[in-house]
Every structure is written in C-alpha cells, then in structure tokens.
Structure 1
Amino acid sequence: MGDTSARSHRAPVPRPDGAGRDLTSLPKAHLHLHLAGAMRPATLRELAARYGVPAPAHDGRGVKGWAEFQQLYDTARAVIRTPDDIGRVVAEAAADDAADGCGWLELQVDPTSYAETMGGVRAALEAVLAAAASAPIPVGVMVASSWARPPDHAERLARLTAAYADAGVVAFGLSNDERHGEVAAFVPAFRLVAEAGLLASPHSGFYTAAPHVRDCVHLLDAARIGHGTSAVGDPQTLALLAERRVTLEVCPTSYPPFGVHALDEVPVQRLLAADVPVALGSDDPLLFGVGLAGQYAICRDLLGLSDDQLATLAGHSIEGSAAPPEVKRDLRTRLDDWRRPERFQGTAP
C-alpha cells in the first residue's frame, strides 16, 4: 500500500507568533472527508503514472476555482482502480488524521464511482469497508449519493447502505452542488436509512440559502449538515439547528475558491454564539491543501477562537459523530484532559 507513516502535505497553518497550544494534541473527530479528495498529492502522482493517466499540475496548496477543482477531483477518482488502491488511500488518510489528533474518522464515498473497475457497487463498498477496518484509527464509512443524480439512484444506494449497517457503514449523505436537486425528492432514500438506524448528513447551505438547510432537517431528518454556513443569516434556521442539535460540518478552506466566504470571514464564531454545534472538516485536502488540525489553526489564528472554543468545536465533532460509545468515551476523556489548565503551564496563551 505504500508508506503510510510519513506525514503528508496536510500540516497545521502556523501561527505567526508561535503561540497557542498544540492543536495536533487536541482530541477530535473528523466528520467531513471525501475518499478521492483525501488522497495525498504524491499518491496521486504515483497512481497516475502507474495507470497512464495525465496528472494535472498541482502543488497541494489549494485549487483556484471550479474548473481546477473538478479536473483534479476527477483525476483522483480515475486512479483509484483496485482494492489495494482504496486501501492505500484510506490508510494514508487515516494516518494523516491520526497525526492531527483525530480519534474517529468518517470517510464519505459513492461506491458507484468505482464500481466499473472493482466489479460492482457492492465490491467497491466492501473494499472501502475492508480498508476502514484495518486503518490506524477507527473509521466509519458514509455512503453518499449526489444531488446531481436522480432520486432513484439515491434510493438504490440507500438500500445498499442499510444492508451494510452492521458492517462499518454509519451514515448516508448527498454530496455535490445542492442546487441540482429538490430536497423533497430524496425523502424516500433518507427514510430507508433512518429505518436502518443510520445517521443522515446531506450537503446543504453551501450554495443554497437557509431555507434549503431547514428543509434538509425537516424533510430528511438530517442529524448533520455538510457545510450549512448560509444558516448564519437566518435566525429561524439557527434556532432550529440549535434546538435539534444538528451539527454543521464546516470546512473553512473549501469556501474561498468558490467565493462563498473569505477565509477570515467563515462564520464559526457566529454559529457558536447561536449555540449551533460545529464540527470542523477538511473536505478534500488534496484540493484545498489543509488538513484537519490546519482547519483548527485557521479558526484560532484568523477567526480569533480561543483554546476553549477550539475544544468546544472538538467536543461538537465527537458528539455529532456516529462513533461507537466506547470511542466517544475515550475521546471525551482525552478532551477533558486537554482542557485542564495545569496541563499547559508555561504555554503561551
């Protein structure tokens, strides 16, 4: 599977004055990471060379718009062709997250993207589940359809998701541009996964306004929302998210390339002030160039969050996860230890 021990490009953004606690030691869960977008740049280059796929020039520092994003993401998907390829990507992603202090990872995948080369949708999903089971940290799998695919495609994937509910699949989602689908059309798919006891987390509120986020909560019974930052402008939506404890998976580096938010204007502080749970994610570090601990560093260094607020975000990621109870207990205990002031005597504030 290649070397999974070396740190990748995914490093925390450094604080200019060098102050602040070590964010890689902050116990946390990672709830928003796509399989292809989790690939290391070096792995992309190696697999592209192996399969004769032209690899776009990419320095790992972030894409500059939709065209570059789509080209790079499509290339990453195209070079994942065997169970060993999946195993390598999953192992490296989990190792990178472990180095960033992550104790539970939920990896998002549409198995139909790999069905042709893997021998079918079930074979593709089983390859991901096998890789997750052998990863260096606990990994759950979120099966995701796409807002751009027909609702019956989502229903087929929902049935597959339910069939593997006791085999490592923990959640069901909808990825891609949420403007391509109507929320109500996906109700049957999400009803199937709810009946299987699985968590629902559709993308929403990236390009769409706050009412779309509300619809995902009301109609799809979403326990989490991928992104959801448009909710910040609507008190009704904020109140709903706070009351139902719906966690927003906020990925700071995902927004500037598409003009959604400037990096120093991502509304994490405003969401916390409204008592909305926020879990930071890296989304696609291959494309955006920053890993999980780096997202926390951005919140500290650019958005002005305190160490206590960063610990609150980590707590939200743990509570909003689909991790088994014993994993949550361990992460909570470690987080309580991280919060203790005496543990940081001599550390700059």
Structure 2
Amino acid sequence: MNVPTLPKVELHLHLEGAAPPAFIRGLAREKKMDLSGLFSENGAYRYKDFWDFLKVYEAATSTLQRPEDYHRLVLAVLEESAASGVVYSETFLSPDFCGGRDLGAWREYLHAMREAADQAERQFGITLRGVVTCIRHFGPEKARQTARCAAETAGDWIVGFGIAGDEKVGQPKDFRWSFDLAREAGLRLTAHAGEWGGPDSVRAALNDLEVERIGHGVRAIEDLALVDELAERGVVLEVCPGSNVALGLYPTFRDHPIGTMFDRGVKVTISTDDPPFFHTTMAREYEELHRAFDWDEGVFEKIARASLDAAFCDDDTKSKIRAKLETVDA
C-alpha cells in the first residue's frame, strides 16, 4: 500500500498548531523574540502534558502578529499536508489570534489566508476551507465576539464554526448563544468533546450546541450505548489517533478505540490535530492505523469518502475533490 499517494481528506487541523517548529523559530528571530524555552534540544516543541501544551501553543502563536505571517503559515502548512497526499483540508481559525476578535482586523487576516490558500491550491493541488473556532477557556463573552466575526465572514470559504481549548473549563451550554448565531449565519457546526471530557461531554455538545460533528469524541467508547447512538444518528467524529496517543490518552494505536468505533458503524474520520506537536503527518496516521488494525486501501478509501461527505464545503467543491478520490489506481 503506497500511503503517500492515497488521496486524503482532513477535517481536524489547527492552523497555528500545524506550524512547523522551524517556521516559528524563524519568525521569532525576525521579531527578536526569545522562545528558546519552547523547544527541545532536537528542535521539536516541548511540553509536559495537555495543559502545558496549550501554553506552548499560545506562546508559539504569539509570533504570528500580522496578516503576512498567516499568509506564510498557510503556505507552509499546506505544502506539508499535500506531501502526505491530503487533497482537501478544513482548518480551525481563531479571530482570537488573528486581530484580537476585531472584525476589521479579522477581515485583513482572512484575506491573507485566502490568498495563500489559492496559491497553495495552484502549486500543491490541495484545497483549504476555514472553520472559525472560539476558545473555550477564554470564556463565553469572548466567544460571542468570535462568533460575530465568523457570522460576518461566512460564505464559500469560511464554512463552519466550532469550539476548541480546555474541555474542563465551563459547559457547552455556556456557548449556546455563539453557536446559535453561527447557525443562523449558515455555518455548519462542530465542537471538541470527548477528549479530556468523558461521554457526558459528547452528549452535552450534541444536545446543547446541536453540532453535526464532534472533534475527537473518542471517550464515547466508555459508553457503548452512546457509541451506538452516534452510529444511528450519523454523527461524524473527527478522530486524531496520533494526537491521542502522544498526549497519553491511549498507550498505543492498537489500544485506540477508532477500530472498535469503525466496526460498530460510527462515521470516523482521520486527522492530525496539531501535527508537529505530536510528531505525526497524515501519512503516518494511515501507516500506524494500517499496522494496528490491518486496514487496507479499501478501508482508507471508504473513510476518505465519508470524510468528504462530512466536509462543510459546498457541493461544487465536493464534486471537484470527489473526482480526485476516484482517480486512485486499483
């Protein structure tokens, strides 16, 4: 199985979290910022646990200060994704980091990112769309500002709205207003849940925010009735196995519940989350899942098609990407 050549669809990718460490170090040098404490001796990001990871993530993001920085970031991230065979990607974007939730500044950042995405599509053959995310541990009031930015720029490129950050802060219902605003603006909805929160966090995201996709969601496995409900309702899980293993949620890929969930009919997708932080790529995710569960090209093609069906982009874009999925050599 030639993993890199298999066309892949990725639905769960944090743009800043996908920044190569060398890229962030380069920006820090340009801006004369000392971020040496963020990196290990071999140049990788260094953190102790998930909560320390959040601090390192936000410190690294502090180097991204201008629309031009995000233009360069999008090109760097998409080049690496395309090298793993990704043909379509949705990335989480936060106006919190792009202009401090000011609508005018957000529009400038968004224009720069769209220009870079168009350039990457011409150069690397990968299509990108944006999903605006509020940051849970920044609180509901800031989330409202983020939702307004999302609603005002909803359209053919900003296609979704979600929530990320520390699952242990607040409750999904605290963010209902923001999700209602995004829904009214025509945005599709997703939410991080069932990673550090248990099965109840998945139920709360579904019931209180009425999302159609769940970011991670893997701890639903602790309640098989919930797993079966996810399968029956057709809820899509944006699963990031390498991230879960790297952060210690599961000891190995073989212990990861994605295999059981797939076998029980849950619509699982495969993503990298924050790939350089977790020493992964989409190609590595496929290789590890092949080794862990003996999944073959047929399984991966089925998951890629299901991922495209769950994508938030319009039908014309899906048709274009579907043609790429169907050109795989037998």
- Taking structure 2 as the reference length, the TM-score comes to 0.89
How far apart, CA to CA, are the structure 2 residues paired with 1:121 and 1:332?
31
Residue deviations 1:172-209 (CA, integer Å, cap 9, x gap) = 11101211121111111111111122111110000111
1:112 paired to 2:96: yes
Change (3 A) 1:64 1:81: closer
- Give the match's secondary structure for 2:168: helix
Query: Could you tell me which residue of structure 2 aligns to residue 253 of structure 1?
Result: 242
Q: Give the counterpart letter for 2:302 in structure 1.
A: T
Query: Could you tell me which residue of structure 2 aligns to residue 92 of structure 1?
Result: 76
TM-superposed CA distance for 1:289, in Å, is 1.5
How far apart, CA to CA, are the structure 2 residues paired with 1:31 and 1:284?
12
Query: Could you tell me which residue of structure 1 aligns to residue 143 of structure 2?
Result: 154
TM-superposed CA distance for 1:121, in Å, is 3.8
Query: Could you tell me which residue of structure 1 aligns to residue 39 of structure 2?
Result: 57
TM-superposed CA distance for 1:68, in Å, is 5.3
Residue deviations 1:226-245 (CA, integer Å, cap 9, x gap) = 10000112123222321222
How far apart, CA to CA, are the structure 1 residues paired with 2:250 and 2:324?
32
Q: How many residues align?
A: 320
TM-superposed CA distance for 1:120, in Å, is 3.4
Query: Could you tell me which residue of structure 1 aligns to residue 204 of structure 2?
Result: 215
RCO greater where, 1 or 2, for CA within 8 Å and sep 6 or more? 1
TM-superposed CA distance for 1:251, in Å, is 0.9
1:269 paired to 2:252: no
Residue deviations 1:15-48 (CA, integer Å, cap 9, x gap) = xxxxxx1122222211111111111222122111
Q: Choose from 278, 283, 300 the match for 2:273.
A: 283
Q: Choose from 188, 196, 206 the match for 2:177.
A: 188
Q: What value does the CA root-mean-square deviation take over the aligned residues?
A: 2.2
Change (3 A) 1:252 1:57: same
1:203 paired to 2:192: yes
Q: Give the counterpart letter for 1:140 in structure 2.
A: R
How far apart, CA to CA, are the structure 2 residues paired with 1:269 and 1:60?
33
How far apart, CA to CA, are the structure 1 residues paired with 2:310 and 2:140?
26
How far apart, CA to CA, are the structure 2 residues paired with 1:105 and 1:43?
20
- Taking structure 1 as the reference length, the TM-score comes to 0.84
Q: Choose from 36, 42, 45 the match for 2:25.
A: 45
Change (3 A) 1:303 1:219: same
How far apart, CA to CA, are the structure 1 residues paired with 2:271 and 2:93?
15
Runs ≥4 residues deviating over 6 A = none
Query: Could you tell me which residue of structure 2 aligns to residue 124 of structure 1?
Result: 109
TM-superposed CA distance for 1:49, in Å, is 1.0
Q: Give the counterpart letter for 1:176 in structure 2.
A: G
TM-superposed CA distance for 1:63, in Å, is 4.9
Query: Could you tell me which residue of structure 2 aligns to residue 307 of structure 1?
Result: 297
Q: Give the counterpart letter for 1:53 in structure 2.
A: M
Q: Give the counterpart letter for 1:32 in structure 2.
A: H
| Alignment check: 8 A CA contact 2:237 2:267 kept | yes
Query: Could you tell me which residue of structure 2 aligns to residue 9 of structure 1?
Result: none
How far apart, CA to CA, are the structure 2 residues paired with 1:117 and 1:198?
18
How far apart, CA to CA, are the structure 1 residues paired with 2:281 and 2:293?
17
Q: Give the counterpart letter for 2:261 in structure 1.
A: L
Query: Could you tell me which residue of structure 1 aligns to residue 53 of structure 2?
Result: 69
Structure 1 stretches lacking a partner, 5+ long: 1-20, 345-349
Residue deviations 1:55-96 (CA, integer Å, cap 9, x gap) = 332446675532652453133201112222111110111121
Change (3 A) 1:180 1:120: same
Q: Give the counterpart letter for 2:8 in structure 1.
A: K
Query: Could you tell me which residue of structure 1 aligns to residue 217 of structure 2?
Result: 228
TM-superposed CA distance for 1:164, in Å, is 0.9
How far apart, CA to CA, are the structure 2 residues paired with 1:143 and 1:180?
19
Query: Could you tell me which residue of structure 1 aligns to residue 64 of structure 2?
Result: 80
Query: Could you tell me which residue of structure 1 aligns to residue 154 of structure 2?
Result: 165
